[in-house]
Amino acid sequence: MLLFVHIARTVEDYYCIDISIARKFFDTAVGFLSIYESLSFEETDSTLKAYISVKDYSKDLEGYLDELAQKMAFTWSKSVLKGQNWNTEWETNFQPILVDDFCSIRADFHPPNQIAQHEIIINPKMAFGTGHHETTFMVIQLMSAYNFNKAKVLDFGSGTGILAILGAMLGATDIDAVEIESPAFENSLENATINQVSNINFIHGILDNVMGNNYDIILANINRHVILNSLATLNNILKSNGTLIVSGILEQDESLILEQTQKHHFQLVLKKQKGNWLALRFKKVEHINIL
């Protein structure tokens, strides 16, 4: 099962880090390693694989792996993957996804879905956000139960642009989509064109690039580390009574997320869980009601 892999449009060399650890600890290891935003992950029957381009690799990562290996009792090894067309392999394994009867996600080489209310075409370029991972799937479910009509929306860490594109289909009129990875940013532009969506402002950058805005809805499907570090800014750019939907959070981190979101005046409204992963919907409030 592919967890999430950043796109690699150019042919470049990668390191593959094989982590020998029990399958029940895969998600936990991914959660800890996600502080390195350039890492991508894949599950196999016997190991968890982490990928990082040679240009993004650092000795700090090796030290962190050694430290984590002692705590979690795993071993790891590193090998070089010479540059190749990674997209060909990804396209071979990409399958359509149906989120309830609400949203279908497919590539342009798949036939249209006749059941779903909305259909999004995402040409697979190995970018996080195809709907296959539990986190994206659950965020789409949360979006299905919310009114996006005429809303001003931020998709923070937009990846393929799938959530921003869906927001536009649901009636949002003013959408910013922020993505730090250059290839993912380029892929999101392509996907918006394919889906004939023209009202998304795709931004290659970080949250600082949207400071001063006042959003009705913020979508943040990233990871625990980035979300926790961004809560103050997310509060500043979200309207009072606005909605924050976050995912990329493991079940074991729920109490930490709830503690920190409360400090920044986010009240939990709805929670979804799929496997060990959570997606949470919050409301920005003046005072937190502790149940």
Q: Does residue 280 or residue 276 have the better pLDDT?
A: 280
Are β-strands 103-106 and 97-99 bridged in parallel, bridged antiparallel, or unpaired?
antiparallel
Options 3.90.1150.10, 3.40.1080.10, 3.30.70.600, 3.60.10.10; which CATH number does 2-88 get? 3.30.70.600
pLDDT of 86 strictly over 90: no
Each residue's pLDDT tens digit, 161-178: 999 999 999 999 999 999
pLDDT of 129 strictly over 70: no
pLDDT of 125 strictly over 80: no
Q: Where are the domains of the chain?
A: 2-88, 145-284
Whose structure tokens read 């400090």? 263
pLDDT of 157 strictly over 60: yes
Each residue's pLDDT tens digit, 195-241: 999 999 999 999 999 999 999 999 999 888 889 999 999 999 999 99
What does the alpha-carbon distance between residue 209 and residue 118 come to, in Å, rounded to a whole number? 30
Q: Which pLDDT value is given to residue 14?
A: 82
pLDDT of 118 strictly over 70: yes
> In the CATH hierarchy, which fold is given to the domain comprising 145-284?
Rossmann fold (3.40.50)
What does the alpha-carbon distance between residue 199 and residue 122 come to, in Å, rounded to a whole number? 17
Sign of CA dihedral 14, 76, 248, 289: negative
Q: What average pLDDT does this structure show over 181-203? A: 90
% helix, strand, coil for the chain, step of 5: 35, 30, 35
Each residue's pLDDT tens digit, 136-146: 999 999 999 99
